[in-house]
Each structure stands twice: as structure tokens, then as C-alpha cells.
Amino acid sequence: MPDSKLYGLIGSSLKHSFSERFFTEKFKSENIQAVYRNIEIADTGELERFFKGSLPYSGLNVTFPYKESVIPFLDEVNENAREIGAVNVIEFRNGVKIGYNTDSSAFAESLRNTTLVKDKAALILGTGGASKAVAFALQYLEIPFEFVSRTKRDIPGFKSYEDIRNEGLSDYGLIVNCTPLGTYPDTEGVVDLNFDQVNDQHFLYDLVYNPELSTFLKKGLEKGARIKNGSNMLRFQAELTWLLWNR
């Protein structure tokens, strides 16, 4: 029997990780000699120590909050990931650590059969690594967008939540939550939108997948909006990840 390959996910609060379940089930059902484990990293100091140590991995996934801060520890970064400014997949090739971003392609793929309101911009809630991948995908799909965050950012198309509450949501069709608010176990967390401004012309997309119906989506549904969680996107990015690791 060949030696098992080792894969893993680095991030914080990984107890209910989709990736570990997905790959463990995949390895078992396809009789693949491999193990996938969650690797809890407390802070960027621990992240640095992790990459300075022995790395017996064939591949790694990266999740919140390290998709941006992991980049300095890599030997190479794929062009798309470099442009996005975030990495969610690491390939180990002949001792070289190479970073990729499959989030953007997975997000675009998850919208393939979705009809969006024409001539409406998208709102991206959050300005972290996931939001950058979503923005990259929206550029590819030729959907204009603006970022919203609690903290002022010096980036094009930035608005505060106060700006959005004052201006309303009538100019927007797609609203994407790229923040961790609402993720298990803090399921009551939600972005600071005025949900009374949401209606049946809006499509609310939450990258959160646990719970399946987040507070963000629940509030949108109550106002007649179409909704979608992040489970399809996660599955697409996991499949793309496996292709990268096995080229």
C-alpha cells in the first residue's frame, strides 16, 4: 500500500470546516490514500512559525483570516492570486510552495445559472481576502461593484454602511456578504444593512454556509429577495483545488 499523502486547512475556528468533511469523504469513497486535517492557527506569529517548520504536506487550503497574510510565506504566487491579493490554495511542488486562488472561479461558477437584474451594480460587504476574490469574479462577469465596510478603506468604489443606509439599495441587484458575520457558532451576527430597503429586486448571496440559512439570508428572504449561501461555491473551489493538486 502506498504511503498516504497529507493535506490540510489552515485558519481559525475550523471545528465545522466544510473542507475536512469534503476531502475525507472523497478520499474514502474514491479509495484515495490520503488524509486531510484541520490546522488551527491562532495568529500571524504562529502562522510564521508553521511555515518555518517541517511541512510534510502535499497541499494546503487557506481560510479566514489568513488568505492575505499567508502570501509572504510562499515561494511563488499564481498570477490571478497575485492580482486578487489573496490565496486559498497552496501546492507543494518539488519543495516549492505555490499559492493560487480558486475562490474567484468558484464564485463565478456558482452564479452560472443565476439571472441577475440587468443594469444593477453589486455590493460586496467586507474588504478581506474573500471579498477580493468576489470582486475579481465580478470584473470577469462584467458586473460593476462597490465595497462596503465598517472601517474606512482607501480603495476605489468604497462606501460605508452609513453611506448605504442614506443612499438606499435601489441601485444594486446582487449583495454579497463576504464577512464572517453569522457563521456558527455566532449565528445571530449580521451586517449593518437596513433590511427594510431590501425587496424582491435583490439577490442576497452569503459566503457563509454554516448555518445554511444565515441571519443575513433570513432577513433578505423576509423581504422577498432571492437568496443563496456559500455551499455551492465551496464545493466548486474544493473540486478546483483537487485538480490543482493532481495535475
- The predicted pLDDT at position 2 comes to 60
Q: How far is CA 209 from the centre of its chain?
A: 10
Strands 158-160 and 145-149: parallel
Which member of 67, 97, 120, 228 is catalytic? 67
125-146: pLDDT as tens digits: 999 999 999 999 999 999 999 9
Count CB atoms within 10 A of the CB of residue 56.
9
The pLDDT value recorded for residue 157 is 79
Helix (H, G, I), strand (E, B) or coil at 183: coil
Q: Is 67 a catalytic residue?
A: yes
Q: Which domains does the chain have, with CATH numbers?
A: 5-101 (3.40.50.10860), 105-232 (3.40.50.720)
> Tens of pLDDT along the chain (247 residues)?
467 999 999 999 898 889 999 999 999 999 999 999 999 999 999 999 999 999 999 999 999 999 999 999 999 999 999 999 999 999 999 999 999 999 999 999 999 988 887 789 999 999 999 999 999 999 999 999 999 998 877 777 799 999 999 999 999 999 999 999 999 989 999 999 999 999 999 999 999 999 999 999 999 999 999 999 999 999 999 999 999 999 8
Q: What is the pTM of this model?
A: 0.93
Summarize pLDDT for 138-182 with one digit per residue, the tens. 999 999 999 999 887 777 779 999 999 999 999 999 999 999 999
Rounded alpha-carbon distances, angstroms, from residue 149 to 62, 134, 160, 177, 178? 22, 15, 6, 11, 10
> CA 142, 146, 149, 151: dihedral to nearest 10 degrees?
120
CA dihedral for 58, 74, 180, 128, sign (positive or negative): negative
